[in-house]
Amino acid sequence: MTTIRIGTRASALARAQTSWVAERLGPALGVDVELVNVVTEGDRSSAPLTEIGGQGIFVGAVRDALVRGEVDVVVHSLKDLPTVADHRVVLAAVPQRGDPRDSLVARDGLTLGELPVRSRVGTGSPRRTAQLHALGLGLDVVAIRGNVDTRLRKVASGEFDAVVLARAGLVRLERTDAITENLDPIQMLPAPGQGALAVEVAAHAARLATDIEQVLDDPGSRATVLAERSLLRALEAGCTAPVGALADLADGDDGAEIWLRGVVAATDGSHLVRLSASGRPDDAEGVGRRLGEDLLAEGAARLMQEQAS
C-alpha cells in the first residue's frame, strides 16, 4: 500500500483532526496520504441533533465508506461514536487525548459567573444544557447548530452572549484566542470521550490496524475513554444524552488507578446524580460499568427518560 486514503467529513474541524492524523501516519508508515471527503446526513440537515438521530449520524456514512473500500482509514471525534459495537470496523488507535474540558466563548471577555442573569448561551448539547441550568445562574440556554465559526460569529454579532464548545476542537482549529474561560469539570463534566480521536479501519485490515496502533495509539487515553464509554453503555444512553463523564489516571496506593466521575442530570437542571468510582486501568471497562450501575440505582434512568420525552 503506497497511498492511504483517509475518510473525513468536510467540516473544518473534521479536516483539521484528520490532517493531524495524516501528518503522523504518512511519514511513520512511509506512504502517501490522501484525504477523502464524505458527506453525512448530519451535514445535510440543519435540524437539532436530538431530532435527527444524535451525533452518531456523523459516523455512519464515514464508516460505510470505509466498509465499501472507498477509503482505508477513517477519523472521528471519539465522543461521536455510538456505544453499540460495529463489528465491520476496528478501533485501531486512540491517539493521545486533547484537553477534555468545555470552554466558554463570551462577549466582552466575560466568564460564566460574570454573565448577567438571562444571558443567551448557545449549545446543541443536552448535557451542557442540563449542567448549565444546574449551576443556578439564571441563564437562558438556547439550542444552536452550525460549525465552530458559525457559533463564534453568533457571539460576535450579539445574537448570543456566549456559546459553550469543546476546548480540544478550538485548539485544533487554532481558535483558543476566542476562549474567555475553560470550565472546570467540577462545574461541567465533559461528554464521554471528549477531546479524544478515534482512528478506525475495516475489520479485515488486521495488518493496517496493527501498524496504526504502533504509530498512534496511547494506552492511557484508550483506557480513560474506555471507562467513560463503558459508563455510557451501562446507562444505555446515546451520545446526546444528558450524561457527563471524565476519567483520569492517577497514582494509587497499589499503583496506577483510574478515577472516573459521572453525572446524569435533568435537562432543566432541577435534579442530578453525580458519583465517582475507581479501579485498575486494566479494568477500565469494569470501572465504567459499575459506576453506570450505581448511577442507575440512584435514579439516573428517570432523569434520562424525562429528557427523551
Per-position b or e across 104-139, b if 16+ CB within 10 A of its CB: bbbbeebebeebeeebbbbbbbbbbbbbbbbeebeb
Query: Cβ(226)–Cβ(201) under 8 Å?
Result: no
Identified catalytic residue from 72, 80, 102, 161: 80
Query: Cβ(296)–Cβ(309) under 8 Å?
Result: no
d(CA 104, CA 121): 9
Sheet with 3-8, strands from edge to edge, namely 32-37, 3-8, 73-77, 197-202, 89-93
Name the amino acid, one letter, at 302: R
Alpha helices in the chain, H assignment, sequence order: 12-29, 41-44, 49-52, 57-67, 126-134, 148-156, 167-172, 206-216, 219-234, 284-297, 300-308
d(CA 28, CA 23): 9
Distance of CA 219 to the CA centre of its chain: 18
* 80 noted as active-site residue: yes
DSSP 250: E
Q: Which residues are catalytic?
A: 80
